[in-house]
Amino acid sequence: MSLRTVLDGPNTRGTSDRFWAAFGLAVVALLGYPLVASTYAVANAALFLLYAILGLSLCVIWGYCGILSFGQVAFFGIGGYTFGIVGINLSTTTGTALGLLTGVGVATLFAFVLGYFMFYGGVRDVYVTIMTLVVALVVHTFMGQTAGSEWAIGEAALGGFDGMTNIPNLMLGGIELIDTAFYYVVLLVLLGTYLGLRALVNSDFGRAMVAVREDEERTELLGYDTKRIKLLVFTLGGALAGLSGVLYASWGNYMNPAVFGITFAALPVVWVSVGGRDSLLGAIGATYAIEWFSQQLSITGSEYALVVVGGLLLVTILWLPKGVAPAVADWLSEKQSSPSIRGHEEVAD
């Protein structure tokens, strides 16, 4: 199959027929989920799936290009807020579509400017990590004090610490995307993102990305413009995070500055390192599994919920330094001496 030659390659683990069969089954299961589950469960699953896009945005820049951004949530939040501003002012089908485009656009532009500033300024490694975190925190501080009426854009008040309310739902062909319809849109976007990223990382450009991750100086000596590669990948990551943020704003009809805070900023890093940073599917599975699990713990109301979440992180990093998905893949390939499926957490609910 010609499609397989685009999607398979050395930079993704699942490449066997067996993998693709299992993948197909998982997709069918996810497509069928709304038929058997309650509206609540579907809407809830949509949230985890849209978080997974945020997870993927970090996975591609960190896992495949070696740039750990601790500030993906900044692009997520900017995307969501921009969608809110446009959507509140023009709450029509075209309005929300325009909101989607500007939301992703502004997040992308922001990532591009920040990336240019950093990579062409020689900021590297852990300094990139902390710089991105500081940027998120600056936005957090700024957005927290936008409560007054002077901070309104048209009809849309930024709302300070209390956040922006009345954000409309995304609309498509005159239909408001809520509950099941929203779930399907998120699922398709996630699927498209995943397959697109697979194609990207297995392309020539993808190989150059991985080369930058492995040894930036050597890659540069081989004649690649590593700054440009990093900037492009970082910008792509920003765009995906922005897309995820737009979906988030439409999901809850609400944005607030907590999305720029350190607690939320840590989440994508956690998802990706637990899933396995060079495994796209691992990131998706881990995002879903971790979010679902910590939600369940908070539902129990147990005071040990955060202890368990924190403890699990610690243990995973100590025992499975490469993450769950690579470990599962290794285990399977040892067992069957052929690489196969991994990360089936996403069909567990």
Partner 1 sequence: MNNLFSTGRSSTRRAFLAAGATGITATAGCTGSARQDADVVRIGVLEDRSGGFALNGTSKWQTSVLAIEELNEAGGILGKEIELFDPDPQSDNQRYQELTRRLIQREEVDALWAGYSSAARETIRPLINQYEQLYFYTTQYEGGVCDSTIFPVGATARQQLGAVVPHLIEEYGPRIYTIAADYNFGQISGDWVRILAEENGAEVIGEEFIPLDVSQFGSTINRIQEADPDFVMSMLVGQNHTSFYNQRASAGLDIPIGSSTTMAQGYEHRRLNPPALADMYVGVNYMEEVDTEASNAFVERFYDRWPDAPYLNQEAQNNYFSIHMYAEAAERAGTTDQEAVIEELEKGVEIEAPEGTIELDGDTHHMNHHMRIGHADSNHDLSFGNEQYIGAGFLQEVGCSLPDDPETTQYLPAEVYDL
Partner 2 sequence: MIYDTLNLLFQFLDSFAFIVLATVGLAVIFGMMGIINLAHGEFILVGAYGTTLSYGAGLPLALAMGVGVLATTVFGLVLERTVMRRLYHRPLDSMVATWGLSLVTVQLARIGFGNTLSQVGTPLGSISYGAFSYSAYRVVLAGIAVAVLVSLYWLFMYTEFGTQARATMEDEPTARSMGVDTGRIYLGTFGLGSALAGLTGALYAPTITMTPELGASFLVEAFVTVVVGGSSVLVGTSLAGGFLGVVNATFTNLAGTFIGQVAMLLAAILAIRLLPEGITGLIDSWRAKRAEGGQ
Judged by the rule CB under 8 A, the positions of this chain that interact with partner 1 are 37-41, 43-44, 47, 141, 144-145, 147-149, 159-163, 165-167, 252-254, 256, 258-259, 263-264, 293, 295-306, 349
Query: What sign has the CA pseudo-torsion 289, 294, 295, 296?
Result: positive
CB 158 → partner 1: shortest distance, Å?
Answer: 11
Nearer to partner 2, 192 or 310 (CB): 310
CB 83 → partner 1: shortest distance, Å?
Answer: 14
- The entry of partner 1, partner 2, none near residue 317 (CB within 5 to 8 angstroms by kind) is partner 2
C-alpha distance across the termini of the chain, in Å: 32
Angle between helices 280-300 and 39-58 (to 10 degrees): 130
Asked if residues 314 and 273 have their Cβ atoms less than 8 Å apart, the reply is no
CB 323 → partner 2: shortest distance, Å?
Answer: 10
Query: What sign has the CA pseudo-torsion 130, 239, 53, 227?
Result: negative
- The entry of partner 2, partner 1, none near residue 123 (CB within 5 to 8 angstroms by kind) is partner 2
The pairing of beta strand 156-157 with beta strand 152-153: antiparallel
- The entry of partner 2, partner 1, none near residue 122 (CB within 5 to 8 angstroms by kind) is partner 2
Nearer to partner 2, 136 or 189 (CB): 136
- Distance, in Å, from the CA atom of 290 to the CA atom of 269, rounded to the nearest integer, reads 12
The kind and range of the H/E element at 152 are strand 152-153
Residue with structure tokens 């683990």?
13
Residues making contact with partner 2 (CB under 8 A) = 68, 117-118, 121-124, 126-127, 129-131, 133-135, 137-138, 141-142, 145, 262, 266, 269-270, 273-274, 303-307, 309-314, 317-318, 321
CB 316 → partner 2: shortest distance, Å?
Answer: 8
Asked if residues 305 and 298 have their Cβ atoms less than 8 Å apart, the reply is yes
Q: What is the DSSP letter of 150?
A: G
> 3-state DSSP call for residue 22?
helix
The residue length of the chain stands at 349
Nearer to partner 1, 47 or 65 (CB): 47
CB 293 → partner 1: shortest distance, Å?
Answer: 7
Nearer to partner 1, 37 or 347 (CB): 37
CB 103 → partner 1: shortest distance, Å?
Answer: 18
- The entry of partner 1, partner 2, none near residue 153 (CB within 5 to 8 angstroms by kind) is none
Torsion angle in degrees (nearest 10) through CA of 60, 344, 309, 64: -10
Nearer to partner 2, 137 or 152 (CB): 137
